[in-house]
Structure 1
């Protein structure tokens, strides 16, 4: 029995790894679709019923709002990248000065260091790598949006397919309830997490702007995005703008201010505000979150880290519905409390 489970697990891991170019965009498209449904539900909350405001019109408007938000963020993001490129010579000059300072406080001479590389080549290398990564991100965003459109078109026939798969009323209701629980858990998690991350990123943006850090929106957006990576996201998004500040200013005082302020804000948001607001929304053990982060990061890299928590939440909900896997759901949960 154990050997069969290991074989199945190995096959699943291989499929996940080899099929990541298809599965990852599909999962992000599904998350965007859930966000679209959340936006669409707001129209019902404010009293716009289907009789006067048809559901298809709500879907189009919600999708337009979501797509427009992504488009505006993309435009501002591109503008910030251009700003970073514009100050290329300044970064090169400051990096050279930093390397000379390094020469003065160490036994490793700058002449030896420049034999391996020069600052100009180093910055060119990383700028080229960054621009290549941005092109990849943009192309993936387009693929995700296309997938999302197809999911929206399939939405109307989804319940009919579930009904065909489970013709008995009890089985059908049970499957629909599982799907609703997954949707509620994911949208609540994303909604609360996004709100807290947005507030943190906005405060950090104001700090960056006041200090004159180039491309403040770019760094604030990184803080927002990395907030979805448990534990390590705060460290990464705090150190990146701090390290860049050294290259921009050519000194360490501004870098330390940025590191301390952004780190403190994110620590407060993630460890004090978020647990109080989030409550038991995720119902996932912290050690499981860490293990999930490592596993999905190993399989899918950075996208896997972003998806690790939603995937784990889905696993807890699905496993809790079957007697054979309910024990696994209890182990994955935060306090051993699961809904049957």
Structure 2
């Protein structure tokens, strides 16, 4: 049996843990405007390192092709991709703005059609506002949100550049933190495991999302939906949100199709096509390719999605899986937190 002093020590340890966890959550919530761009900057930096490693795989050694040049080219590739995507994205938004009046008229027509077979007088509700004004306000709101996203992207790229400039000193700082060679090698191994897990996850997920969004783009183009690249990009981005991302990215284009075509047949075709593609990609292809590399319980993924979504919003949903994977790897390395890592893992199997 435990004596009173041991019980008191356990209670104090538990209370201290809860206090520290609460403070950490508050810091994460209040500091989200600084922390979120930094995390995305780190992710872009990891992607740059992955691109840079491809130069080594094709035989371009540092002797003939210096590391700084590989870094420069890898960064230029990432920046070029962001710029190209941004330009196409902007042109698609302009296309949506150009047809905003037509969308407003179609919205009014749909409300009238719904009113004809509904017991509720939807048209009376619609008369309380101008549908064209509603569509215009919505598009204006979307543009404002996009401007915020663009400014955040610039901040993320700046963070990435600063991380690249600091990259060469990371090993020296880790060695200074852990002078003992064995401890240093162990911590370096943990960092490499984290990098490998995150880059593998992002690489596989990005490849599957790219294929899915490309096929979706073709379907939306054939269906005649305006701004197909805009919707394909949304499908690509929402592919990184577990479970609910597929639903959101399938329903949004389908709902927009109702407003554009003022009918339901095209919407149902788009919904069925996109839903089928993403179901096959998410439930058949992805599990076979990714296997058990993430080692995270599905229940934990859902809880993580809700938690990070609550404190960080949509960016938190995107980051929920990578953060949980990092937690499993880090917690598995310490005896005091190994139990938490086992709970978070998929089958209770963790590397020591």
Give me the whole-angstrom Cα distance separating, in 2, the residues matched to 1:270 and 1:28: 23
The match for 1:21 is 33
The match for 1:333 is 345
> Which 10-residue stretch deviates more, 124-133 or 251-260?
124-133
Which residue, out of 260, 275, 291, partners 1:279? 291
Q: Does 1:233 align with 2:245?
A: yes
CA deviation string 1:128-179 (max 9, x = no partner): 1101100000000000000000000000001000011111100110111000
The match for 2:179 is 167
Q: Does 1:143 align with 2:155?
A: yes
Spell out the pairing of 1:1-340 with structure 2 (5 A cutoff).
Answer: 1-340=13-352
- For residue 3 of structure 1, report the CA deviation from its aligned partner: 1.8
SS of residue matched to 2:349: coil
RMSD of the TM alignment (CA)? 0.8
Give me the whole-angstrom Cα distance separating, in 2, the residues matched to 1:39 and 1:168: 32
- For residue 107 of structure 1, report the CA deviation from its aligned partner: 2.4
> Which 10-residue stretch deviates more, 251-260 or 4-13?
4-13
- For residue 115 of structure 1, report the CA deviation from its aligned partner: 4.3
What TM-score results when the alignment is normalised by the length of structure 2? 0.95
- For residue 103 of structure 1, report the CA deviation from its aligned partner: 1.1
- For residue 102 of structure 1, report the CA deviation from its aligned partner: 1.4
CA deviation string 1:254-293 (max 9, x = no partner): 0000000000100100011000000111110000000000
Give me the whole-angstrom Cα distance separating, in 1, the residues matched to 2:302 and 2:92: 33
- For residue 95 of structure 1, report the CA deviation from its aligned partner: 0.5
Give me the whole-angstrom Cα distance separating, in 2, the residues matched to 1:147 and 1:11: 25
Number of residues paired by the alignment?
340
Give me the whole-angstrom Cα distance separating, in 2, the residues matched to 1:36 and 1:100: 53
Give me the whole-angstrom Cα distance separating, in 2, the residues matched to 1:165 and 1:77: 44
CA deviation string 1:16-55 (max 9, x = no partner): 0000000000000000000000000000000000011000
Bigger radius of gyration, 1 or 2?
2
- For residue 110 of structure 1, report the CA deviation from its aligned partner: 4.5
Give me the whole-angstrom Cα distance separating, in 1, the residues matched to 2:123 and 2:305: 42
The match for 2:6 is none
Say whether the 8 Å CA contact 2:254–2:267 is kept in structure 1.
yes
- For residue 111 of structure 1, report the CA deviation from its aligned partner: 4.8
Say whether the 8 Å CA contact 2:111–2:123 is kept in structure 1.
no
